[in-house]
Structure 1
């Protein structure tokens, strides 16, 4: 494992993973809304409300993008400023969904049951290839690190703009056999939540809470999640895995940022962002070719697992 990015294979690493489009093949909000349609008894109203929310978001974002000159962004600071300009779009979207009542009446059990059914649905949530293998490598590293005199071991957190912590937890639990072995609890998931779900059996009022809607919000939470070694006083290095423009600031703040999927300059806002500000993003097998930002890409988690196994 290259020392260039500050990672020592014989010291603990904090893995912080995005959820939608990173751990999963694609965004999962459509499936979460489907749970609401199936559970609250008014499919037509929920479907119409969701369509209006999506259309309003796309129009709002398109109009905001027209006011931004992307070609003016040539630095990380400039890119961060653009992402901050887009933050109100995300906030307005969340407000619209909250006020629409789409998720009103949902309980924790509704969401957990809906998540558990995803494996059987043709268009259900699917984890990316290799997620289990990465977690197995992390578990092996934990066993070895527990024997270290410092007692620091690898940790795994999920950091997401998804609207429900319960949904993320339920999807992971239902799709990873022997899930308990991986020591991923709700407390490891830093995301938004539907108000009321933290009180068991109480229906949610449908309001999305948590304040994690943007790149800046995610970076703030990543900073909060960072651990400090009790023995050495130094912070535990972070490997952050993400897939979208919203992950940019976390990817470059981590000791190693890994983009899932080869950045496609034609279709990926993240790839276009890298190009504007001049960040290299070689394949994970060519880590030595990355620049000081230490960002690489991997096709899937299987490639990350292979790299970890060879460098641990």
Structure 2
């Protein structure tokens, strides 16, 4: 669904996390949580008074001596999860790929319906992976502070990098001091298949604290927005428990369709009904993503925007767009999932020439475009 925005229509921005707000995928960073837990428990032991509390007042992780898990052991476990996932994926693809593989992958052309069914078929692979990690109790005893420490260390080392100017859209969603007008972006939210909403929020919060190019008042408003914004994702159960996590992975945002099922609360269909009841105008929904798991959200948004690599040469960008959504038909013929530059999107959409997915080099380009059409 692609429609042009009416003058003055409020804007809802919905963002993907991995690869969209961040430079690269961050899931591997969660593999460091057991080590962060062990370091925390080790430091607690060093500073424990001689009259230590009874075991029922101590964390489950410590009582069960899982602090002995060494870094190589946790790394090996995580690598095993990744290997098992890839093996499951290859086996599944061999049986369920929607088109006959061609010698040249660019010749593979699946219809939108075929591609959607393929993406949804991957549900069995995603849930098997989550169940495998749950059974291992890999995250047992992990607490929120461990998640924050992993995010902080990753920002320090550069293992976690947010895209340049990542905060520009967030700042457009908060009222500025002395500004009597409503923010250009009326709502900003995140939908992600990442395993931890807590990790996403802490990563954003800690990154915002480090910003030096905004005023203290603007930073406080930004931190408040991050603290209260809607993030639809999965979670590691029990992070806030004194005993730490049970090790169970919870949530059901693991496929493209499940992501899109979180979109209706922002999309025009449900938004229009709520707006009519409240005598206000429905919002214009912009979804920004970077991968195949964003496809169903792209289809459900008023304006889908695919983030390309900054400064990427045109032919290379086209090839990467094809590769990201393979085997979906991304040609310009009828039925293709066609891409155009963000500046061309409104004109092409108004012409009724099929559905178009806009592309932008980065998030600042999205912000600048929104300002230019408002």
Give the TM-score, by structure 2 length. Answer: 0.74
User: How far off its partner does 1:153 sit?
Assistant: 6.3
Mapped contact 1:130–1:303 kept (Cα < 8 A): no
Change over 3 Å in CA distance of 1:160–1:129 after alignment to 2: same
1:309 aligns with 2:337: no
Please, which runs of 5 or more residues in structure 1 have no aligned partner? none
1:265 aligns with 2:293: no
User: How far off its partner does 1:31 sit?
Assistant: 1.4
Mapped contact 1:165–1:186 kept (Cα < 8 A): no
Provide the rounded CA distance (Å) in 1 between the counterparts of 2:22 and 2:188.
16
Moved more, 170-179 or 237-246: 170-179
Q: Which residue of 2 aligns with 1:132?
A: 167
Structure with larger Rg: 2
Give deviations 1:149-206, integer Å, cap 9, x for gaps. Answer: xxx9610111001111110000000112365423123551111111112x35440011
Moved more, 108-117 or 11-20: 108-117
Change over 3 Å in CA distance of 1:268–1:14 after alignment to 2: same
1:67 aligns with 2:108: no
- 3-state SS of the aligned residue for 1:15? strand
Moved more, 134-143 or 205-214: 134-143
Q: Which residue of 2 aligns with 1:114?
A: 150
Q: Which residue of 2 aligns with 1:34?
A: 32
Change over 3 Å in CA distance of 1:202–1:264 after alignment to 2: farther
Please, which runs of 5 or more residues in structure 2 have no aligned partner? 39-66, 101-108, 210-217, 310-316
User: How far off its partner does 1:297 sit?
Assistant: 0.8
Provide the rounded CA distance (Å) in 1 between the counterparts of 2:76 and 2:232.
30
Aligned partner of 1:253 among 300, 323, 345: 300
1:238 aligns with 2:311: no
Mapped contact 1:252–1:294 kept (Cα < 8 A): no
- 3-state SS of the aligned residue for 1:211? coil
Q: Which residue of 1 aligns with 2:360?
A: 298
Change over 3 Å in CA distance of 1:141–1:63 after alignment to 2: farther
Moved more, 211-220 or 266-275: 266-275
Mapped contact 2:9–2:282 kept (Cα < 8 A): no
